[in-house]
Structure 1
Amino acid sequence: MSATTILLAVAKLTRPLTIRDVRGLSGMTYLDRRDFLEIWQSLPAERRTTIARELIELAEEHVELAFGELWSWLLDDREAAVRISAIEGLWEDTSTKMLRRMVDIFTSDASTDVRAAAAIGLSRFACLAALGELAEGEEALEQALSAAALDTGLPTELRRRALESAGYFAENEQIQNQVERDYASGEQLLAESALVAMGRSMLPRWLPVIGKALGHESPALRYEACRAAGELADEAQPLLPKIFPLVTDSDSEIALAAIWALGQIGGEQAERALKQVSRSSDTARSQAAAEALEELSGGDSLV
């Protein structure tokens, strides 16, 4: 059955899509592009948006589905929500071609929401750059993210997402200074993103700030502080006394983030705490602790 036939059938469905409905759209090639887009673009915007969202969900559940070509075509869809889904769907594409495309979308798309999604998407390339594994395009990437992160006239959502991704550029003093200013700005969302950037920088200079945030009254800031501490790995050993109480936080997301952080930081104290949590009656927390212990042991169970 051709991709266009499958798409026509999918378009008529009034129930949620299943893998059986869309399996034939997996693995499409450029040869399918013209016929697919002719049908796709004739569908109402609401239906295109719904299909794209459901394809994202199915791809997360079934890793064998390969929608890469499809998502690259939908980056040009007229509907912003579809373009956002396409950006999310291309998360594993780390090619130079995709980097250039994502930078272009980030800097020039008509929708602020799409540009913010692209900023999030660029984080994988910034991470590769920090690891010295980005083949090319690092300078253009850093310039684009830095310009947005430093531009206080941009919409908050766009700027904060740029700041998060720019955090990987630890040696860029302008970015790191902006991280400091945004955390101290008094704006909740900017403070959250600043903590994300601190963790991604892996700079010990942020330990005091992260440590203070671990005890903040804001659940969102405590959560991001746990994540940031985990990103710093063994550099965050001094923060362990402040992380231990959070594994019993009434907010499950914070507790799970704290457990994850302990697994990333490691050490005897973290291991003992994780073993204790692994015996908890709370299934989610005990399972998370078991997984953290397994990571600490390099795949061998420590429970």
Structure 2
Amino acid sequence: MTPSFAERVAQLDATEHAPTRLDLKLLANLGPESVYIFWEQWQRFGLDRRRHIMRLLAELAEEQVRLDYRPVFRACLADQDPEIRVLAIEGLWEDDHEQMMDRLIRMIHDPAGEVRAAALLSLARFAYRAEIGELALEACERLHTALLDAADDPEQPLEVRRRAIEALGYFAGSREAQAAIGRAYSMDDILMRESAVLAMGRSMRPSWFPYIERELKSPSPALRYEAARAVGEIGEDGRELLPSLLPLVDDDDTEIALAAIWALGQVGGPDARRILKRIARSRDETRAQAAQDALAELDLDTL
């Protein structure tokens, strides 16, 4: 007799050995009734097994585009375990529906700080869509208000407030958002300043360029890294920052160098292309590959 869907789901927790990727194809492309059955069984699974399955599903969601695990991830936003809720948020990175945005806004008030921070990281993509006109006005206003509230809430942990600042960067036309970025940059906390620099790049406002240029020369590796990323966020409008960005491609810190190489690919232009071609011939395989990838992206932009 063929086992029912409920029995097959229950089997994922019943076996001694952890489920494989092949086993988890069972959870792809579920309709509403199947999701309900899954959720009933899922709540009986042990914590370690649930975490193992969610980590595998997160990997599968990136690798197997034809297999849709979003219904499972949406259900697991309500899991009792904070780590699983974070994994569920991360697994829904392609879900751009307004309902998803509103669910993430509600999760800014989740009991677990790490879940709140993950929700705000995910909300940044909706902030970007708001800036390019892909969100309805009312949705933009809900998001803008939620981000400002989170950024200014002294009861929120630092990690939550700084992620709100990063997302606010996309609201380039908002006086309140840009003021919040300025306040974050003026703080003594280095993590908040890093987020402010990234937000400056996302806003693409020339008024922030001197601050970004200053941090490209910062003694702090973390600030140099974020400043390089900020230049990349600005894109071709950031070409005036190239003289300060270029030394970072040879930075001793590989992560900073890779951020600078990526930024060159975003900024483009003859000078950026010339430097990228030099790096692509480098003996440093990691930097050479990053330069080749940046050049390939520049070539795509010219098609």
Scaled by the length of structure 2, what TM-score is found? 0.93
Could you say which residue in structure 1 is the equivalent of 2:29?
Answer: 27
Within a 5 Å distance, the mapping from 1:171-250 to structure 2 comes to 171-250=173-252
Unaligned runs of 5+ in 2: none
Query: 2:21–2:56: 8 Å Cα contact kept in structure 1?
Result: no
Query: 2:279–2:288: 8 Å Cα contact kept in structure 1?
Result: yes
**Do the aligned partners of residues 261 and 34 (structure 1) sit closer, same or farther apart at CA in structure 2, a change above 3 Å counting?**
same
**Offset at 1:2?**
5.3
Could you say which residue in structure 2 is the equivalent of 1:111?
Answer: 112
Query: 1:71–1:90: 8 Å Cα contact kept in structure 2?
Result: yes
**Do the aligned partners of residues 173 and 69 (structure 1) sit closer, same or farther apart at CA in structure 2, a change above 3 Å counting?**
same
Could you say which residue in structure 1 is the equivalent of 2:6?
Answer: 4
Could you say which residue in structure 2 is the equivalent of 1:286?
Answer: 288
Could you say which residue in structure 1 is the equivalent of 2:132?
Answer: 131
CA distance in 2, matches of 1:97, 1:183: 32
CA distance in 1, matches of 2:267, 2:16: 48
**Offset at 1:184?**
2.3
Amino acid at match of 1:95: H
Is 150-159 or 224-233 further displaced after alignment? 150-159
**Offset at 1:179?**
1.2
Write the deviation string for residues 127-164 of structure 1: whole angstroms up to 9, x where unpaired.
00000111351111100001111223421011111111
**Offset at 1:75?**
1.0
Is it true that 1:76 corresponds to 2:78 in the alignment? yes
Amino acid at match of 1:134: L
Is 292-301 or 17-26 further displaced after alignment? 292-301
Query: 2:12–2:18: 8 Å Cα contact kept in structure 1?
Result: no
CA distance in 1, matches of 2:302, 2:236: 20
Is 259-268 or 287-296 further displaced after alignment? 287-296
Could you say which residue in structure 1 is the equivalent of 2:270?
Answer: 268
Of 56, 62, 65, 2:64 maps to 62
Query: 1:96–1:137: 8 Å Cα contact kept in structure 2?
Result: yes
Query: 1:150–1:175: 8 Å Cα contact kept in structure 2?
Result: no
**Offset at 1:98?**
1.2
CA distance in 2, matches of 1:14, 1:261: 48
**Offset at 1:299?**
6.2
CA distance in 2, matches of 1:286, 1:270: 14
CA distance in 1, matches of 2:16, 2:87: 20
Write the deviation string for residues 1-26 of structure 1: whole angstroms up to 9, x where unpaired.
75534433332456665421211211
Alpha-carbon RMSD across the aligned residues, in angstroms, is 1.9
Amino acid at match of 1:121: S
Q: Secondary structure at the match of 1:185?
A: coil
What is the number of equivalent residue pairs in this alignment? 300
Amino acid at match of 2:122: G
Unaligned runs of 5+ in 1: none
CA distance in 2, matches of 1:14, 1:174: 55
Amino acid at match of 2:153: D
Could you say which residue in structure 2 is the equivalent of 1:158?
Answer: 160
**Do the aligned partners of residues 208 and 51 (structure 1) sit closer, same or farther apart at CA in structure 2, a change above 3 Å counting?**
same
Q: Secondary structure at the match of 1:272?
A: helix
CA distance in 2, matches of 1:17, 1:62: 17
Amino acid at match of 1:94: D
Write the deviation string for residues 61-115 of structure 1: whole angstroms up to 9, x where unpaired.
3333310111111111111111111111111111111112111222x32222211
Scaled by the length of structure 1, what TM-score is found? 0.93
**Do the aligned partners of residues 231 and 14 (structure 1) sit closer, same or farther apart at CA in structure 2, a change above 3 Å counting?**
farther
CA distance in 1, matches of 2:15, 2:94: 29
CA distance in 2, matches of 1:92, 1:141: 18
Q: Secondary structure at the match of 1:230?
A: helix
**Do the aligned partners of residues 16 and 191 (structure 1) sit closer, same or farther apart at CA in structure 2, a change above 3 Å counting?**
farther
